Chain A
Amino acid sequence: MVLLLARRLTQAALILLGVAAITFVLLYALPADPAVLLAGRNATPQTVANIRHQLGLDLPLPVQFWNYIVHLLQGDLGRSFNQKTAVAPLILARLPATLTLMAAGIAIEVMIGLTLGVIAAVRRDGAIDRLVMTLSFVGVSTPQFLVALLLLYVFAATLGWFPMSGYGTPAHLVLPAFTLGILGAGWYARIVRSAMIDVLGQDYVRTAHAKGVPAARVVLRHALPNALLPVIAMIGIDIGQFMSGAVVVEAVFGWPGIGQLAWQAIQQVDIPIIMGVTLVSALAIVLGNLLADLIAPFIDPRIRAG
């Protein structure tokens, strides 16, 4: 197990290196020249060349990449072109907000999704089932922006239950987390329903009934764990999606997360920030997936982790 963990961590490091390399190459492929953008409208070619040189953008790509990696290994993510300050603090400052929103969003979508999915599976082909299935489609078919604004209008602007914007208190978290949760719940509901229907038809569920286990317990204790594997995998995926992808929700609710930073950096071709955000979210994703893979054998002991 320890060996396995060590191996997976090495792999994780390699993945990060791979991500860094690809990102680097892609950024180079961009025709937009950060120096030109920085130099601004009034710049002379001299200024542009100057800035390019200062940023080291005139070095050959492999050299730049090598320099980047060397700095990275010293824990240095470089300095933002646009903000003229170290990247690491910019990302770190936003990390707690991102992680909070991610955790809350995933918790809510899993909770809603599991509940609806299980109910739909138990009442399969009934009216509730149809309703849940239709709702799950409504959920995934609605753009984030709309849901976020709608929630904001109703619960913050009109009812005044929650603050419209900001970060810091649990009250601030509710609406953004629910936006993510409502939108993602459809996936979970579907996946859980599908897996649960399979499981509920298994012999061991019949055994549980035969033992006189209360219906709710049969569903929750006997059937649900057997249907959890895809859910775990899905959570691993969502970590990635929310890490830098909650741009819209962050924007609507003024949530100071990494998504906004990433979005701006991409617009401004602020390469060090893009690299930094990419690496941090890659790290989160890799760790998330690693965790999912490590948890899987505990949920289904038939899977050998070795």
Chain B
Amino acid sequence: QAQGGDIVVTYKDDIATLDPAIGYDWQNWSIIKSLFSRLMDYTPGTPDLVPSLAESFTVSPDGLTYTFKLRKGVKFSNGRVVVPADVKYSIERAVDPKTQGPGAGFFGAIAGFDDFAAGKATGLAGIETPDTETVVFKLSRPDATFLHVLAINFASIVPKEAVEAAAGDFGKKPVGSGTFVLKDWVIGQKLVFARNPDYFVKGVPHIDSFTIEIGQEPLVALLRLQKGEVDIAGDGIPPAKFLEISKSPDAKDLIVDGQQLHTGYVTLNTKIKPFDNVKVRQALNMAINKERLVRIVNGRATPANQPLPPAMPGYDTAYKGYAYDVAKAKALLKEAGYADGFSTVLYSTNTDPQPRIAQAIQQDLAAVGVKAEIKALAQSNVIAAGGTEGEAPMIWSGGMAWIADFPDPSNFYGPILGCAGAVQGGWNWSWYCNEDLQKRAVAADSMSDPSKSAERVEAWKKIFVDVMADAPWIPVFNERRVVAKSKRMGGEPNIYVDPTRVINYDAIFVKP
């Protein structure tokens, strides 16, 4: 793989912040990944965990103690060596209520979390730094996802002095020990990142620098990409251009198309009539012509029949879901007492192609007698409606659909299908809470012993199949992510659509 090259990436929206304790949108997600390093990471392009800043680690048999040995001599870009205290500081910072970070909840298994989060303690008692190269995590309960948690952005290691020097503006002046360092940030225009020459893995990254230009309309970004001014169009290919590009002779050089850990679904609010009736929910599952929906997005997706995406461990290839069958759907509705159908409201975000998909769903529903009125709103309003009890009967999740934080089935349950998410302001928009399944989910997550991982996956598989029996969702399709890149960019599709970080800046390279 070649070394060198300066590339240009475009985005429409501003980069909100590069503070790893705060940043939580899909744009800054991959940048933060490269600016900082964490104890754990993934092999590029895969969901496979590997130690990163940690040289090695051990887990106690009860699954409650994790001991990490740090790599020696790793330096922050300010020149200081990374020490165990930095790890403790960084994770406490992510949990600290003062940080207002959205990721605190991930660390809930660490001992002392509740006290600290409630402001009753000044730190996390469960993190210990016995010597200059060891960090010990004590958990209050087994957590099978804990290693994943240490690989997410919120667990990035930051130097205390730089955070304090930035005086609240760390998100604009990040200092880390990742593959790149921030060189320049012109507000509203661009961010320039240069490779970190001291990065602890030799030969990584491959490119010398990348510049993120923001405020770029996707259509124009694509045009610039075709002219060679831009190397990666970060927002992908707008629907209006997709067919044209994919049919052009250059298509194979310009388009990378990869599976992501994503499912598009329609939530059926179990607290609103008539969706409190499982038969109605099942009927609607049979009413949607997913093949046609896939056609509307120009084939950039595959029909889905369960919550988990195929690339996620726990996906049940044997499960067939509810087949498209209008007659059966009508019959079920009749059984449920809605022979003449009913009226309801379907929410959707307002950016193309979401309203179109909503309209196609609307037409399918009409075929079984369900009159759905569409409300296409700005994303924040849809999220607000979803999190308000009794507000949104149906929501098409497109545009804000769940993309996993880390490749573990539990991440697809808790907030969006579990009881904890069925609260005011939560993300469980079906308001679905099955106590039995909830218990099984907790149990599955306690199986932290690596040897039991197959068993655990099996447990999750069953949970999701059972969820589908209750049919709180209509899984619609698994959208593939399509990234447009210039011809000179090299690398497999899975580093442009990396399951854990979207674009993997560490792995992409410029062809010689």
Taking a contact as CB atoms under 8 Å apart, the answer to whether A45 and B104 are in contact is no
CB of B466, distance to nearest CB on chain A (Å): 23
Chain B residues lying within 8 Å of A47, measured Cβ to Cβ, are 102, 104-105, 117
Which chain B residue shows the least CB distance to A35? B425
Contact of B97 among A50, A97, A153, A254 (CB under 8 A): A50
Taking a contact as CB atoms under 8 Å apart, the answer to whether A157 and B215 are in contact is no
With an 8 A cutoff between CB atoms, is B142 at the interface?
Answer: no
Give the bracket for the number of chain A residues in contact with chain B: 35 or more
Taking a contact as CB atoms under 8 Å apart, the answer to whether A256 and B189 are in contact is yes
Taking a contact as CB atoms under 8 Å apart, the answer to whether A31 and B224 are in contact is no
With an 8 A cutoff between CB atoms, is A233 at the interface?
Answer: no
Taking a contact as CB atoms under 8 Å apart, the answer to whether B97 and A54 are in contact is yes
**Secondary structure type dominating chain B contacts:** loop
Within 8 A of B (CB), among A139-167: 149, 152-153, 157, 164-167
Give the one of A30, A85, A149, A269 with max B CB within 10 A. A85
B381-407, CB under 8 A of A: which get 1 and which 0? Answer: 101110110000000000000100100
Within 8 A of B (CB), among A31-57: 31-33, 35-48, 50-51, 54-55
Contact of B420 among A44, A54, A260 (CB under 8 A): A44
Taking a contact as CB atoms under 8 Å apart, the answer to whether B100 and A51 are in contact is yes
Taking a contact as CB atoms under 8 Å apart, the answer to whether B380 and A41 are in contact is no
Taking a contact as CB atoms under 8 Å apart, the answer to whether B187 and A48 are in contact is no
With an 8 A cutoff between CB atoms, is B197 at the interface?
Answer: no
The 9 closest A-B pairs by CB, nearest first: A256-B188, A40-B102, A93-B187, A32-B384, A32-B380, A36-B425, A50-B97, A40-B24, A31-B384
With an 8 A cutoff between CB atoms, is A128 at the interface?
Answer: no
With an 8 A cutoff between CB atoms, is A90 at the interface?
Answer: yes
Provide the bound-state CA to CA distance between A252 and B219, in Å: 8
Taking a contact as CB atoms under 8 Å apart, the answer to whether B22 and A252 are in contact is no
CB of B109, distance to nearest CB on chain A (Å): 13
Taking a contact as CB atoms under 8 Å apart, the answer to whether B425 and A254 are in contact is no
B220-249, CB under 8 A of A: which get 1 and which 0? Answer: 100110010100000000000000000000
Contact of A38 among B13, B102, B118, B229 (CB under 8 A): B102
With an 8 A cutoff between CB atoms, is B336 at the interface?
Answer: no
**Can you list 5 A-B pairs, Cβ within 8 angstroms, ordered by A?**
A43-B425, A44-B108, A84-B168, A167-B189, A257-B188
Knowing A39-B102, A51-B100 touch, does A31 contact B385 (C-beta < 8 A)? yes
With an 8 A cutoff between CB atoms, is B257 at the interface?
Answer: no
A236-262, CB under 8 A of B: which get 1 and which 0? Answer: 000000000000001111111100110
Chain B residues lying within 8 Å of A153, measured Cβ to Cβ, are 223
Q: Which residues of A contact B (CB under 8 A)?
A: 30-33, 35-48, 50-51, 54-55, 79, 82-86, 89-90, 93-94, 97, 149, 152-153, 157, 164-167, 250-257, 260-261, 264, 266-269
Which chain A residue shows the least CB distance to B425? A36
Taking a contact as CB atoms under 8 Å apart, the answer to whether A36 and B102 are in contact is no
Chain B residues lying within 8 Å of A86, measured Cβ to Cβ, are 169
B236-278, CB under 8 A of A: which get 1 and which 0? Answer: 0000000000000000000000000000000000000000000
Which chain B residue shows the least CB distance to A267? B378
Provide the bound-state CA to CA distance between A125 and B104, in Å: 72
Provide the bound-state CA to CA distance between A50 and B229, in Å: 44
B199-210, CB under 8 A of A: which get 1 and which 0? Answer: 000000000000
Provide the bound-state CA to CA distance between A45 and B102, in Å: 11
Taking a contact as CB atoms under 8 Å apart, the answer to whether B100 and A50 are in contact is yes
CB of B14, distance to nearest CB on chain A (Å): 6
Which chain B residue shows the least CB distance to A41? B427
Knowing A36-B384, A94-B188, A256-B189 touch, does A84 contact B215 (C-beta < 8 A)? no
Contact of B22 among A31, A79, A84, A266 (CB under 8 A): A84
Which chain A residue shows the least CB distance to B378? A267
Taking a contact as CB atoms under 8 Å apart, the answer to whether A254 and B380 are in contact is no
With an 8 A cutoff between CB atoms, is B120 at the interface?
Answer: no
Chain A residues lying within 8 Å of B425, measured Cβ to Cβ, are 33, 35-36, 39, 43, 45, 48
With an 8 A cutoff between CB atoms, is B171 at the interface?
Answer: yes
Chain B residues lying within 8 Å of A79, measured Cβ to Cβ, are 168
Taking a contact as CB atoms under 8 Å apart, the answer to whether A41 and B402 are in contact is yes
Taking a contact as CB atoms under 8 Å apart, the answer to whether A152 and B220 are in contact is yes
Which chain B residue shows the least CB distance to A82? B16
Which chain B residue shows the least CB distance to A50? B97
CB of B44, distance to nearest CB on chain A (Å): 24
Which chain B residue shows the least CB distance to A45? B423
With an 8 A cutoff between CB atoms, is B90 at the interface?
Answer: no
Which chain B residue shows the least CB distance to A167? B189
Provide the bound-state CA to CA distance between A86 and B188, in Å: 14
Taking a contact as CB atoms under 8 Å apart, the answer to whether A164 and B388 are in contact is no
Chain B residues lying within 8 Å of A83, measured Cβ to Cβ, are 14, 16-17, 171
Provide the bound-state CA to CA distance between A257 and B383, in Å: 28
Provide the bound-state CA to CA distance between A32 and B469, in Å: 32
Provide the bound-state CA to CA distance between A85 and B169, in Å: 6
Chain B residues lying within 8 Å of A257, measured Cβ to Cβ, are 188
Taking a contact as CB atoms under 8 Å apart, the answer to whether B17 and A164 are in contact is no
Taking a contact as CB atoms under 8 Å apart, the answer to whether A260 and B100 are in contact is no
With an 8 A cutoff between CB atoms, is B106 at the interface?
Answer: yes
Which chain A residue shows the least CB distance to B381? A32
Within 8 A of A (CB), among B10-41: 12-14, 16-17, 19, 22, 24
Taking a contact as CB atoms under 8 Å apart, the answer to whether B17 and A42 are in contact is no
Knowing A50-B97, A84-B171 touch, does A250 contact B215 (C-beta < 8 A)? yes
Provide the bound-state CA to CA distance between A40 and B104, in Å: 11
Taking a contact as CB atoms under 8 Å apart, the answer to whether B220 and A252 are in contact is yes
Contact of B213 among A37, A84, A254, A261 (CB under 8 A): A254
CB of B104, distance to nearest CB on chain A (Å): 5
CB of A172, distance to nearest CB on chain B (Å): 11
Provide the bound-state CA to CA distance between A31 and B377, in Å: 12
CB of A244, distance to nearest CB on chain B (Å): 14
With an 8 A cutoff between CB atoms, is B172 at the interface?
Answer: yes
Taking a contact as CB atoms under 8 Å apart, the answer to whether A45 and B172 are in contact is no
With an 8 A cutoff between CB atoms, is B303 at the interface?
Answer: no
Taking a contact as CB atoms under 8 Å apart, the answer to whether B219 and A269 are in contact is no
Taking a contact as CB atoms under 8 Å apart, the answer to whether A97 and B229 are in contact is no
Chain B residues lying within 8 Å of A33, measured Cβ to Cβ, are 384, 387, 425
Taking a contact as CB atoms under 8 Å apart, the answer to whether B98 and A254 are in contact is no
Provide the bound-state CA to CA distance between A33 and B379, in Å: 12
Known A-B contacts: A36-B425, A42-B414, A47-B102. Give 10 more (CB < 8 A): A40-B102, A47-B117, A50-B97, A54-B97, A84-B17, A84-B169, A90-B187, A97-B188, A164-B229, A261-B14
Provide the bound-state CA to CA distance between A41 and B379, in Å: 13
Chain A residues lying within 8 Å of B168, measured Cβ to Cβ, are 79, 84-85
Give the one of A37, A43, A86, A89 with max B CB within 10 A. A43
Which chain A residue shows the least CB distance to B15? A83
Knowing A42-B105, A45-B425, A267-B378 touch, does A152 contact B215 (C-beta < 8 A)? no
Contact of A55 among B16, B100, B426 (CB under 8 A): B100
Chain B residues lying within 8 Å of A264, measured Cβ to Cβ, are 13-14
Within 8 A of A (CB), among B183-205: 186-189
With an 8 A cutoff between CB atoms, is B46 at the interface?
Answer: no
Knowing A48-B425, A84-B19 touch, does A165 contact B220 (C-beta < 8 A)? yes
Chain A residues lying within 8 Å of B100, measured Cβ to Cβ, are 38, 50-51, 54-55, 84
Taking a contact as CB atoms under 8 Å apart, the answer to whether B379 and A260 are in contact is no
Taking a contact as CB atoms under 8 Å apart, the answer to whether A85 and B17 are in contact is yes
Within 8 A of A (CB), among B346-388: 378-381, 383-385, 387-388
Give the one of B14, B227, B229 with max A CB within 10 A. B14
Taking a contact as CB atoms under 8 Å apart, the answer to whether B426 and A45 are in contact is yes
